């Protein structure tokens, strides 16, 4: 028994001395790989993304503002000032006013709402009703990040991207040696609409005056302009805790380790690294398993890189890029939106179903 104990101790000491550890999921990392065996990516390839700007988005909507839950109306029976009141449109789309038990105005213009309320009131008396919109909560846009006045803004009429940014006071700047320095990272700024990324080139719009990028917004569009000084690296996809990691985690091994490592069944042969602007990205795929086995050198990352560990293999680089960018904008939007709605909330992450 004593010899067995000595033998076991020796094996453990050998394992620890060799710099290895045993992982329940995935390959083992060999710490004996010399630290100088690091490479910078030189095979970054440009890809053509699948989503495109819709030319119809450059046209103002012909639909008038329509009422929805949370909107506030000032109502008054003409000739009876005592009936003047401000009432909200309820979650059911109804307003409760004067003698009326509940009138459905959801989805109606102000003019149509006035006609419907008068139609109901005329069942009791012949007076007319005055109506004014006093507050909008059903139609709004989110403008967050490096703008002067981030927040949620009502949208009662057609609004372009430039008009929205103007409402928020424009992008944030700092003064350095008398010159204004833009604090917004325009290459990674984005708009999300109904869970999908709208491929707007903010740099072309704001720096080059490219008005083909100045589309009209839709209710609940989410605009985000990240900080130009953060430089974090995003590690997303099939890892234990997808998140932004500090920019000092400059290698692929270190960045993925910061998230707890890949999950079971992650496809590690083609880990994607996306670099550059969201509208014109470059991408490379690397064999993560070969790196952790010591068969290939570790890869140097750059600030703002997006590392995407896929759940399954894909045939085209453009597919990896689409998934990586969509996961990135969803994750950022969830985190920033939650923080805006409830400051101090814990970070959240976004995931994409396999094959979506």
Same fold, 23-52+231-341 and 72-135: no
pLDDT (0 to 100) of residue 335: 84
Q: How many angstroms separate the CA atoms of 268 and 248, rounded?
A: 23
Structure tokens at 30: 């060999």
- Do residues 56 and 318 make contact, with C-beta atoms less than 8 angstroms apart? no
pLDDT (0 to 100) of residue 343: 59
pLDDT (0 to 100) of residue 351: 39
Domain ranges of the chain: 23-52+231-341, 72-135, 140-225
pLDDT (0 to 100) of residue 34: 47
pLDDT (0 to 100) of residue 315: 84
Superfamily for 23-52+231-341?
A: Outer membrane lipoprotein wza domain like (3.10.560.10)
**Start-to-end C-alpha separation, the chain:** 57
pLDDT (0 to 100) of residue 181: 66
pLDDT (0 to 100) of residue 174: 63
Superfamily for 72-135?
A: wza like domain (3.30.1950.10)
**Bigger pLDDT: 5 or 302?**
302
Q: How far from 265 is each of 25, 310, 311, CA to CA, in Å?
A: 9, 10, 7
**Bigger pLDDT: 37 or 343?**
37
Superfamily for 140-225?
A: Outer membrane lipoprotein wza domain like (3.10.560.10)
Q: How many angstroms separate the CA atoms of 95 and 72, rounded?
A: 9
> 65: pLDDT confidence band, cut at 50, 70 and 90?
confident
SS3 percent helix, strand, coil of the chain, rounded to 5, is 25, 25, 50
Q: What's the pLDDT tens digit per position in 228-265?
A: 888 899 999 999 999 999 888 789 999 999 999 999 99
Q: What's the pLDDT tens digit per position in 69-96?
A: 999 999 999 999 999 999 999 999 999 9
């Amino acid at each position: 028994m004593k010899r067995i104990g000595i033998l076991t101790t020796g094996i453990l000491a050998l394992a620890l001395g060799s710099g290895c550890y045993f992982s329940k999921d995935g390959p083992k990392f060999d710490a004996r790989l010399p630290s100088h065996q690091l490479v910078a990516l030189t095979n970054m390839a440009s890809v053509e993304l699948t989503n495109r700007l819709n030319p119809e988005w450059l046209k103002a909507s012909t639909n008038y503002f329509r009422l929805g839950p949370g909107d506030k109306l000032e109502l008054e029976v003409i000739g009876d000032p005592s009936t003047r009141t401000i009432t909200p449109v309820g979650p059911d789309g109804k307003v409760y006013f004067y003698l009326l038990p509940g009138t459905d105005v959801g989805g109606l213009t102000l003019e149509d709402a006035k006609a419907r309320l008068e139609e109901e009131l005329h069942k009791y008396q012949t007076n007319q009703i005055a109506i004014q919109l006093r507050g909008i909560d059903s139609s709004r846009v989110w403008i967050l990040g490096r703008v002067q006045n981030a927040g949620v803004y009502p949208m009662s009429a057609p609004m372009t991207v430039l008009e929205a940014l103007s409402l928020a006071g424009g992008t944030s700047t700092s003064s350095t040696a008398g010159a204004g320095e833009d604090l917004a990272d325009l290459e990674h700024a984005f708009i999300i609409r109904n869970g999908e990324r709208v491929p707007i080139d903010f740099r072309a719009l704001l720096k080059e005056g490219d008005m083909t990028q100045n589309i009209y917004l839709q209710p609940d569009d989410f605009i985000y302009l990240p900080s130009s000084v953060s430089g974090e690296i995003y590690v997303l996809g099939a890892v234990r805790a997808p998140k932004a990691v500090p920019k000092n985690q400059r290698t692929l091994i270190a960045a993925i380790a910061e998230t707890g490592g890949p999950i079971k069944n992650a496809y590690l042969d083609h880990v994607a690294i996306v670099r550059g602007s969201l509208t014109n990205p470059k991408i490379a795929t690397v064999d993560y398993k070969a790196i952790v086995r010591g068969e290939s050198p570790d890869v140097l990352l750059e600030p703002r890189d997006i590392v995407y560990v896929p759940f399954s293999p894909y045939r085209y680089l453009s597919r990896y890029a689409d998934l990586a960018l969509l996961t990135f904008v969803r994750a950022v939007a969830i985190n920033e939106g939650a923080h805006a709605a409830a400051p101090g909330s814990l970070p959240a992450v976004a995931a994409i179903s396999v094959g979506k």
